[in-house]
Chain A
């Protein structure tokens, strides 16, 4: 009797595994493999990429979406999905040129770099974390005498990462366009010349928040979504800080493909992503894919904004180097 009850529990356990919500990667891979085999050709992987300083974390973001897409390309010879992240934009450019990465998901400034330096093609806009656009906010302590970006002269500002769109390229370009000279600092304790703004990288948004709160940096800049996110800007800190400047808004994120990707694969990828928000089977992959809610075409308005991104990118690179 007792053994039978335990056996019943074991069966429930097995049922939980097999019937649980969400898709099995293995099952998706099987779909891809079967489709690839039926086409009669020698299959290959569809490889997705992203610039990352935390490959373990970002792998879990990318893999479900790569599996979802690859499983629907079996008739095109795609038999499995792959992931290859890069530590920097330069390495991702090389991967795209070498054909090691087929498809990249990135923010606007990195996307333009990949288009210019690796010949990548912009494919779609991505509603990363449920939004299509975002902007940069500059913030300082409530008791600071900084009220505009011109007041940053002789002060320090914290950026997050040299590859970040909203926490480096956009704020740096705003300062340069305002006629301010930017100088890199080795340490937050270093002071810039009185006629320049010193900048330093914190490598995490929460560090930017804490540095300003503690007075280690005079100001910092990151996107408006991070300003509202407790993990990046905890409420008690937000209450003691204030925004003194905001940038124009930009597309949140983009999908790109390498320039020499087979046209039929590129078009199938476009179709799959555009329809993903209407496909219940894509829900798990979209959630993992940085809580993306949908993809849309790059329209004329976005094209105009991307030309502005291109201009600002060259401005920053000419002033501060690559």
Chain B
């Protein structure tokens, strides 16, 4: 097992090295780097990009009753590769090694021969939620908001996405993630997920964005589902919010709305997500929901980079000392409904981010956590625990 952990990244690096040695020497290729590497043929027939990221976290908990465990964590340590193997045929592959095993992220084949429509087959993010679809290296806070627990994660499937000047539309049909097979030989769960966005204003430092997303999911043969969430900190393993296993699940319908706006150095973003779980035999419906809203201000004048695909990209500092960002978020999630008492939690976060350049970021968050009586990690800890969290991150993306 240990050998597998070390040989996988080594094999990736070796493959990259071989590719570079064989392509960089050819006069038909252009090679450039900003830490990662990009190689592309001048006839456009093939290209390759290799990069990655490392994120190191430290968290200190102002504990209430429950021990959360101060500590450090390698939050992300991943390689990412994408390329075009022939005109109109591309691939994506990413793998994270932060927890000591190879956690495959994107692994997909893409067809781009339909003008502004892109077809992706393989493991990928489902088209749901601006916060989820924005790369973790570009989100404003250390962790996504609590309500992200309701978002369908990466899955294997086929999706089509179309980008126009002011709108996007995506729809996909998915099975489960590569490591998410049912224990027995039963059928996988499957889902249909779609998202539409509209950006009536989109300029370099100005954007207004609206979006909606929905997912209809049928669970695997075990017909069980469970929602649980840490406070907005990943160093601790305590997940106050926990529904426990919800059994006899027939269908899961999740939907949401999102909005964002950028006005020069100021920006706001928010989402509401609701998830209804239908249980047999009486077709009882349990509904969980949450939302968040936040505001950000670049003291040094930069703007968040709104992309045409309805997500946010990386920030490019203007000044010699880099970019400085202040942000605050209100976030809440309710996992209680009827007999299911998963708890309700609210987090209020203030953030300070420093971007010395467009590849490096230092982040500092202070989170005020407010749990209700039912937020007890499915009975493992006391409810109504209200800690504070001070956490830091050092991140490099290349």
Residues of A near any B CB (own CB < 8 A):
2, 5-6, 9-10, 12-13, 16-17, 20-26, 52-56, 58-59, 62-64, 82-87, 206, 210, 213-214, 229-231, 234-237, 284
Contact = CB atoms under 8 A, between A and B. Distances in A.
15 contacts: A5-B192, A5-B216, A9-B173, A13-B172, A22-B114, A52-B42, A54-B32, A54-B40, A55-B47, A84-B42, A86-B42, A213-B319, A214-B319, A230-B205, A235-B301
Contacts, number: 124
Nearest to A233: B204
A12 B114 contact: no
A14 B384 CA distance: 49
A230 B171 contact: no
B40 A56 contact: yes
A46 B226 CA distance: 57
Given A9-B192, A54-B30, A229-B204, A23 B115 contact: yes
Given A24-B114, A55-B41, A83-B43, A16 B171 contact: yes
Contacts of B117: 16-17, 20, 22
Nearest to B84: A56
A180 B231 CA distance: 65
Given A87-B30, A213-B318, A229-B204, 5 more contacts: A24-B113, A54-B32, A206-B316, A234-B301, A236-B318
Mostly, the B contact residues are: strand
A53 B158 CA distance: 34
A58 B44 CA distance: 8
Mostly, the A contact residues are: helix
Contact of B42 (A25, A85, A236): A85
Question: Which 4 pairs of residues, A with B, have the shortest CB-CB distance?
Answer: A230-B204, A22-B115, A59-B44, A236-B301
B55 to A, nearest CB: 26
Interface in B7-53: 30, 32, 38, 40-44, 47
Contact of A214 (B84, B113, B264, B320): B320
B67 interface: no
A26 B113 contact: yes
B136 interface: no
Nearest to A2: B218
A55 B116 contact: no
A13 B114 contact: no
A54 B31 CA distance: 9
B340 interface: no
B113 A56 contact: no
B42 A12 contact: no
A83 B44 contact: yes
B218 A55 contact: no
Contacts of A84: 42-43
B85 interface: no
The number of chain B residues touching the other chain, given as a range, is: 35 or more
A2 to B, nearest CB: 6
A37 to B, nearest CB: 21
A234 B318 contact: yes
A24 B318 contact: no
B38 A56 contact: yes
A6 B264 CA distance: 42
B164 interface: yes
A58 B190 CA distance: 39
Contacts of A234: 204-205, 301-303, 318
B372 interface: no
B316 A6 contact: no
Contacts of B84: 56
Contact of A13 (B38, B160, B300): B160
A149 to B, nearest CB: 26
A24 B44 CA distance: 18
Contact of A235 (B114, B162, B264): B264
B47 A56 contact: yes
A13 B116 contact: no
A284 B319 CA distance: 37
Contacts of A63: 44, 87
B241 interface: no
B190 A6 contact: yes
Contacts of A9: 171, 173, 192, 194, 216
B321 to A, nearest CB: 10
Nearest to A47: B43
Contacts of B300: 236
Given A55-B42, A56-B84, A229-B204, A13 B158 contact: yes
A62 to B, nearest CB: 8
B54 interface: no
Nearest to A5: B216
B119 interface: yes
A215 to B, nearest CB: 9
Given A53-B30, A59-B44, A234-B302, A10 B205 contact: no
Contact of A284 (B40, B116, B264, B303): B116
A18 to B, nearest CB: 9
A132 B155 CA distance: 48
A21 B43 contact: no
B57 interface: no
